[in-house]
Structure 1
């Protein structure tokens, strides 16, 4: 099998990760994400999605992350995984180059049957988002207007989802099951230690994410950003940590607890940008390609997904998009006034 042609951008960054959004809708209304209640028009078909994934693989992508909104909310997930799984088993197929197929979910819709289907269809990793372990806090963060009792019920559903994933074979000790938490000062920063304690008890790697200025609806304010360094300092005062650094092309700084009880990571897009080796291409549920999470506009790929357009032409268009890329918004944020408009988090797929 020929190796994929590694396309690089203007800053010599190769394409490595494709984040494909399946829906802009979500069953929650998290305050930092503000999802749509309806789908954008012109959603990609399964055939369209497969063509885009194939082109990305041919250009060097080795990781596919399926996102939303909430990807488990749409039935469009299953036919995509079915065909993707079959093609990954063919040595000569571009999909066989995918080392990792992952899905990000809030976990509230994950049950035994869905977890087994995900595992059987070749999903390698599940990341579950949980921003608090207290009923009132999670209700506030998830936009549940009915208060603490609804928050407690949500936590129980997420716990059941974690158990289902573990039972299906997603082993957190091997990095197959992780927990994400966005920490927003003044909103859920009091949940940092309880979340870490919960993750340690559950044997789950925990990724702590700085509150980001993605989109325009979340009322982002820098004062509400809790720096990753501060998060680590607080955790370290409870359970000493040892730094493992950040892998090239990775988004998170890695830490392990010195007592051997698991690991924690931080995604510090605001205070410790990692634009220099960012390798991610995002494609929305309606076919808009974004080369930066903080971009305001994407390239509509749907004209090149018509049946009369060849796969090679589609690959050329995506090559051109990536090779012209020079995005480094997070690094420039500290140098100049950032743009006032960004695409919304749920639309971009995070």
Structure 2
């Protein structure tokens, strides 16, 4: 299907990142260092509302949906949400980004419900450092969860690692050893500045170009990007089962290949991770009969998407932390 989601700069959008909660049980120092603070007035999208979001985007040509949070697997109806999105045959890839702590127990049920891809956040392969970063002593459980994912039939698992100076920027060889015999795509994500994280950013930001140069010197080669892929530059090596991805939002022209939109856990359409207050869709998620109006609003508002983010000017928009609309 050709995407009916095209912006004013001729970019086509095949990929939806759908947050289903902003609750998280980890306290990662670059995201929620003080832990999650509940808001009694916040109502997350219901299963029926999520079904309507999925159907609307599917009919507009969306091929890939990623369920995000917070920690999406904290939803008690998580398996039902997977099944609801998979009712749309146009959506070929249904992924989740998770901290992985429930994978060992539940990943088979996610696969059975129709999940096709998993990203697990692992910022260090040292158990003590993992505990320091996340605030949780769960390294062993997360590693067991990744193994369980392979046992459940996932051919490849992606692992997200936030690249931080003096934390893991000198650990490339350790990560390479880990993926040598494992079909893992390990993705280094540049630390991004958020409203609450300016001091951390200044202390720990390091460019992914440092890793890219090391990979090229070791004989890794960059792959071609598919239209519904995320923003990672992916590198492969004939001696490794795994791959390395680099996500570098501060690199020139990063936004030229943007192909993804976001819907927050309270039903707001966000045209950029670092953008505006969001465009409410919730009033059009009450009845199935509102589908055409929902699709029209998404298409109309897409025309207001900016050509680029403004991170280079230190402007992170309304994004106070990365659990806000799912990173």
Residue 333 of structure 1: CA displacement?
A: 3.9
> SS at 2:223's partner residue?
strand
| Residue 283 to residue 339, structure 1, CA distance change in 2 (3 Å) | closer
> 1:90 maps to which residue?
none
Q: Within 2, Cα distance between the matches of 1:21 and 1:290? A: 11
Tell me: CA distance 1:340–1:100, structure 2 relative to 1, closer, same or farther (3 Å).
closer
Q: Say how many residue pairs are matched.
A: 323
**How far, CA to CA, are the matches of 2:9 and 2:124 in structure 1?**
38
1:11-22 map, 5 Å = 11-22=9-20
Distance 2:128 2:260 in 1: 35
**Residue in structure 1 matched with residue 296 of structure 2 by the alignment:** 316
Kindly report which structure 2 residues correspond to 1:92-241, keeping only aligned pairs within 5 A, or say none: 95-112=88-105, 114-144=106-136, 150=137, 154-172=138-156, 177-217=157-197, 219-222=199-202, 224-236=204-216, 239-241=218-220
Question: What's the TM-score once normalised by structure 1's chain length?
Answer: 0.85
2:233 equivalent to 1:253: yes
The 8 Å contact of residues 180 and 239 in structure 2, kept in 1 or not, is answered as: no
**Alignment deviations for residues 238-294 of structure 1 (CA, whole Å, 9 cap, x no partner):** x43122254456401111124244321101112344211211111111111111011
Give 1:147's aligned residue.
none
Alpha-carbon separation, structure 2, partners of 1:192 and 1:260: 14
Q: Deviations over 1:278-314 (max 9, x none)?
A: 1111111111111101114111211222338621111
Structure 1 window deviating more from structure 2 (130-139 vs 184-193): it is 184-193
Whole-angstrom distance in 1 between the partners of 2:97 and 2:198: 20
- Kept in 2, the 8 Å contact 1:26–1:37? The answer is no
| Counterpart in the other structure of 2:8 | 10
The answer for the alignment partner of 2:271 in structure 1 is 291
Structure 1 residue 339: Cα displacement: 5.3
CA contact (8 A) 1:15 1:59 kept: no
Residue pair 2:232, 2:246 contacting (<8 A) in 1 also: yes
Which aligned pairs between 1:63-78 and structure 2 lie closer than 5 A? 63-78=64-79
Measure, in 1, the Cα distance between the counterparts of 2:321 and 2:111. Answer: 30
1:210: Cα distance to partner?
0.8
Look up the match of 2:82.
Answer: 81
Q: C-alpha displacement at 1:203, in angstroms?
A: 3.3
1:340/1:265 CA distance change after superposition, 3 Å:
closer
What secondary structure does 1:219 align onto? helix
Mapped contact 2:52–2:288 kept (Cα < 8 A): no
Cα offset for 1:53?
1.2
Work out whether residues 243 and 254 of structure 1, in 8 Å CA contact, stay in contact via their aligned partners in 2: yes
Any unmatched runs of 5+ in structure 2? none
Say whether the 8 Å CA contact 2:191–2:201 is kept in structure 1.
Answer: no
Q: Take 1:161 and 1:187, find their aligned partners in 2: how far apart are those partners? A: 23
Task: Calculate the TM-score normalised by the size of structure 2.
Answer: 0.90
Q: CA RMSD in A?
A: 2.3
Task: Report the counterpart of residue 24 of structure 1 in structure 2.
Answer: 22
What does residue 37 of structure 2 align with? 37
User: Partner of 1:32: helix, strand, or coil?
Assistant: coil
Report the CA distance between 1:135 and its aligned residue.
Answer: 2.2
Judged with a 3 Å threshold, the aligned counterparts in structure 2 of structure 1 residues 62 and 247 are, in CA distance, closer, same or farther, namely closer
Q: CA deviation at 1:32?
A: 1.7
Decide whether the 8 Å contact of 1:4 with 1:58 is kept in 2. Answer: no
**Displacement after TM superposition at 1:5 (Å):** 5.6
3-state SS of 1:84 partner: helix
